[in-house]
């Protein structure tokens, strides 16, 4: 690889991701949306937390079942009630955050991404994420795996390694939750001269509506409460990465 350095992260396109997801995007050179794997219907791709008053509330995006289960990859999944679901989400945000300090600054932007017209779950989530990342002035190249000519391996560890090789990555940056299966693949990454780093994000606190602070809420909570400029700084405050070997 010579002196070539390229930090790469690979994540499934999550709905309204938490702060650490966006720090990961900002930290790497290329960010890959992994939308070619099977959907877990209880995963963060179809649901995430909002803060309503003094409690967290799980908002779910209803999706259709495909006729053939083995084809249920994320990129093929469609909403069951796209317009109804998006309007319900927007109404929920309107009612809950109308008293937030930065409501006037961010609401028209939030409206645009929440009501984004598509029937596909992955396209919706990817637009949601990339729109916010660009608004925060992140310069990371973001790539959707299903949109490129890439033949992938079904094995989880090998799939990640294959993607890293395809993009000539020198460093693979992984969320700490992937440590269990990646530890079994470390030798293969070493042989490919690819370093693994784990994200150990320390969730920062910020001004939040309600009497108590609740962490690990989706990014829209931060935007309504702190605005775009402050949000970028707050996300960075939680940054922590460590080398795997």
Print pLDDT tens along the chain (245 aa).
445 799 999 999 999 999 999 999 999 999 999 999 888 877 899 999 999 989 999 999 999 977 665 568 899 999 999 999 999 999 999 999 999 999 999 999 999 999 999 999 999 999 999 999 999 999 999 999 999 988 765 555 588 999 999 999 999 999 998 887 787 788 999 999 999 999 999 999 999 999 999 999 999 999 999 999 999 999 999 999 999 87
DSSP 164-229: HHHTT-SEEEEEGGGHHHHGGGHHHHHHTT-EEEEE---PPP---SSSS---S--HHHHHHHHHHH
Q: Specify the pLDDT at position 2.
A: 46
Q: Specify the pLDDT at position 4.
A: 77
What crossing angle do the helices spanning 19-27 and 219-237 adopt, rounded to 10°? Answer: 50
Q: Specify the pLDDT at position 169.
A: 97
Report which DSSP code applies to 19: H
DSSP helix/strand/coil, 59: strand
Q: Specify the pLDDT at position 1.
A: 42
Q: pTM, whole model, 2 decimals?
A: 0.94
Q: Specify the pLDDT at position 152.
A: 65
First and final C-alpha spacing in the chain:
19
């Amino acid at each position: 690889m010579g002196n070539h350095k390229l930090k790469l992260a690979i994540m499934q396109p999550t709905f309204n991701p938490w702060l650490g997801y966006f720090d990961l995007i900002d930290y790497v050179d290329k960010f890959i949306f992994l939308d070619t794997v099977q959907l877990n219907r209880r995963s963060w791709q179809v649901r995430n937390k909002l803060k309503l008053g003094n409690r967290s509330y799980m908002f779910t995006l209803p999706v259709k079942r495909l006729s053939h289960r083995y084809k249920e990859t994320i990129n093929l999944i469609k909403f069951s009630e796209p317009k109804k679901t998006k309007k319900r989400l927007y109404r929920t945000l309107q009612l809950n955050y109308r008293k937030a300090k930065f409501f006037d600054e961010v609401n028209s932007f939030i409206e645009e991404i929440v009501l984004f017209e598509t029937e596909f779950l992955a396209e919706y989530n990817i637009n949601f994420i990339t729109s916010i990342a660009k608004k925060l002035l992140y310069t990371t190249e973001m790539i959707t795996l299903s949109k490129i000519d890439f033949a992938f391996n079904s094995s989880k560890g090998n799939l990640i390694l294959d993607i890293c090789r395809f993009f000539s990555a020198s460093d693979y940056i992984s969320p700490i939750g992937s440590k269990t299966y990646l530890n079994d693949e470390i030798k293969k990454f070493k042989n490919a001269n690819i370093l693994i780093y784990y994200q150990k994000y320390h969730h920062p606190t910020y001004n939040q509506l309600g009497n108590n602070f609740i962490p690990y809420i989706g990014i829209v909570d931060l935007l309504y409460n702190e605005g775009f400029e402050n949000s970028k700084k707050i996300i960075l405050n939680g940054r922590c990465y460590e080398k795997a070997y």
